[in-house]
Structure 1
Amino acid sequence: MKILIIEDETGLRDSIQAYFTGEDSVCETVKDFTSAIAKVSVYRYDCIILDLTLPLGNGLDIIKHLKANQFNDGILIISAKNSLDDRLTGLDLGADDYLTKPFHLSELKSRVTAIVRRRSFNGNNVLKFNEIDIDLAAKTVKINDQFVKFTRKEYSLLLYFVANKGKVVSKSAIAEHLWGDSIDIADNFDFIYSHIKNIRKKLVEAGGKDYIYAAYGMGYKFNEA
């Protein structure tokens, strides 16, 4: 998952980031309205964790901006108990869910996971594509009913391809999905080629097909032959 945390409270922001970072998640943070608008105008996220009360602006205007531009990022509002009207307004504007502060981080993660699963995988816990079965909860992959071990980045990339099957995804979109902000320090996309090569090899060695096709000058497509 690629997640953006928009929260001005440093302790809470850092706690959420630490809790989500790792496994298959890339987690970015901003602390004010202006920085948040700059982020969501350029980058796409599986889920945005959004505090409505922000320095320099209102979180509701971020939701309006996303919807006006037809961006399909998942949105989870986190807000204080006394802001019920704002939470309801946020849901009316198109947010997916809300959670009242204070909350347990485990519940926050469950809510985020549910949003991503509902938006990207039709609410399913197991994503299927021909002989490939991806268990979203266990983060495991079966090919022809046999478990195949993928690294965390390989798993994340395979999941990204299957979720976007039939669509051409650019190398820059892949890089941002896997590395988020830290991609800015990369000189080239050689690491993408390496991960794709490994995924192809593991699919074929397990008796599966290689569904990854290069779209010359554009990126890659995961699709039937």
Structure 2
Amino acid sequence: MKILVIEDEADLREIVKASLLKEEYTVETAADYGSALEKVAVYDYDCILLDIMLPGGNGLQILDQLKNEGKSDNVIIISAKDSLDDKLKGLELGADDYLTKPFHIAELNARIKAVLRRKQREGKHTLEMGNIVLDLNERCLFIAQEPVPLNRKEFDMLNYFLLNKNRLVSKSALAEHVWGDNTDQADNLDFIYSQIKNLRKKFLASHADVDFEAVYGIGYKLVEK
């Protein structure tokens, strides 16, 4: 699960990020209106924590854009402004929840899990292609109805490819989605090739109907054989 934390207070942003990483979420952050707007325009997130007062703009403007794109139902507003008007406006724009600062991290985690549970119930629980089925609830893969073990990164990577099947996925977009902000610390993207290689071995051993098609210098496509 991938979460975006939009928060300008550096200490709070890092505390929330550290807590979410312990829960084994993929976490990205944005400290101002401009960077937040750029990220929500390019990437999809399972949950967004959104501060209202941001340098350069208002979080409700970001929420308005998300609503226009049908993505506002996974947003939790976190704000020091304990204003009924702001709360009602946020909920009218489709925000899923509203949490006023200061708050306990345990409460935030509980709110996030509730949002994710609701989102999963409303959506599909599996992704399928050929003879492979990825169970999103149990985080497991079945090939020809037989279970195939995956580590966390392999699961997240395959999940992303199945959401974009038959589409070219660039290495940078894939790294950003699966590894989040920590991608910037990597000297190169060779680790992606390593994960692709591991998945290919599992596909081959289990006679999967799908495979990765490499597009030299750009990325990969998940295609049926």
Shorter-chain TM-score: what band? Answer: 0.7 to 0.9
Instruction: Indicate whether 1:6 and 2:6 are aligned.
Output: yes
Instruction: Indicate whether 1:100 and 2:99 are aligned.
Output: yes
Quote the residue 1:211 is aligned against: 211
Distance 1:116 1:24, change over 3 A: farther
What SS does the aligned partner of 1:124 have?
coil
- Once residues 109 and 74 of structure 1 are traced to their aligned partners in structure 2, the CA distance between those partners, rounded to angstroms, is 12
Letter of the 2:108 counterpart: L
CA displacement 1:38-89 (0-9 Å, x = unmatched): 5445x51413211223355321122245567x59586413246943433443
- Once residues 74 and 215 of structure 1 are traced to their aligned partners in structure 2, the CA distance between those partners, rounded to angstroms, is 35
Task: Choose 128-137 or 28-37, whichever is displaced more.
Answer: 28-37
Instruction: Indicate whether 1:110 and 2:121 are aligned.
Output: no
- Once residues 55 and 189 of structure 2 are traced to their aligned partners in structure 1, the CA distance between those partners, rounded to angstroms, is 36
CA displacement 1:167-217 (0-9 Å, x = unmatched): 221111111112222222333321111111100111221232333222345
Distance 1:223 1:84, change over 3 A: farther
- Once residues 88 and 128 of structure 1 are traced to their aligned partners in structure 2, the CA distance between those partners, rounded to angstroms, is 39
Quote the residue 1:28 is aligned against: 28
Sequence identity (%): 43
8 Å contact 1:114–1:123 — kept in the other structure? Answer: no
Distance 1:132 1:105, change over 3 A: farther
8 Å contact 1:131–1:208 — kept in the other structure? Answer: yes
Q: TM-score, normalised by structure 2?
A: 0.78
* Structure 2 residue runs without a partner (length 5+): none
- Once residues 223 and 85 of structure 1 are traced to their aligned partners in structure 2, the CA distance between those partners, rounded to angstroms, is 49
Q: TM-score, normalised by structure 1?
A: 0.78
Distance 1:54 1:91, change over 3 A: same
Distance 1:105 1:130, change over 3 A: farther
Quote the residue 2:43 is aligned against: 44
CA displacement 1:92-148 (0-9 Å, x = unmatched): 44x452233457234323244247647xxx612233333322222222222223222
Distance 1:205 1:100, change over 3 A: same
- Once residues 90 and 8 of structure 2 are traced to their aligned partners in structure 1, the CA distance between those partners, rounded to angstroms, is 18
Letter of the 2:178 counterpart: L
Query: Which contiguous aligned blocks of 4+ residues in structure 1 show a shift greater than 6 angstroms?
Result: none
- Once residues 82 and 124 of structure 2 are traced to their aligned partners in structure 1, the CA distance between those partners, rounded to angstroms, is 34
* Structure 1 residue runs without a partner (length 5+): none
- Once residues 33 and 72 of structure 1 are traced to their aligned partners in structure 2, the CA distance between those partners, rounded to angstroms, is 17
- Once residues 88 and 139 of structure 2 are traced to their aligned partners in structure 1, the CA distance between those partners, rounded to angstroms, is 33
What SS does the aligned partner of 2:210 have?
coil
Distance 1:111 1:13, change over 3 A: farther
Q: How many aligned positions are there?
A: 219
8 Å contact 1:6–1:29 — kept in the other structure? Answer: yes
Letter of the 1:113 counterpart: L
8 Å contact 1:77–1:90 — kept in the other structure? Answer: no
For residues 65-214 of structure 1, the aligned pairs below 5 Å read: 65-66=65-66, 75-79=74-78, 82-93=82-93, 95-101=94-100, 102=103, 104-114=107-117, 117=120, 123-214=123-214
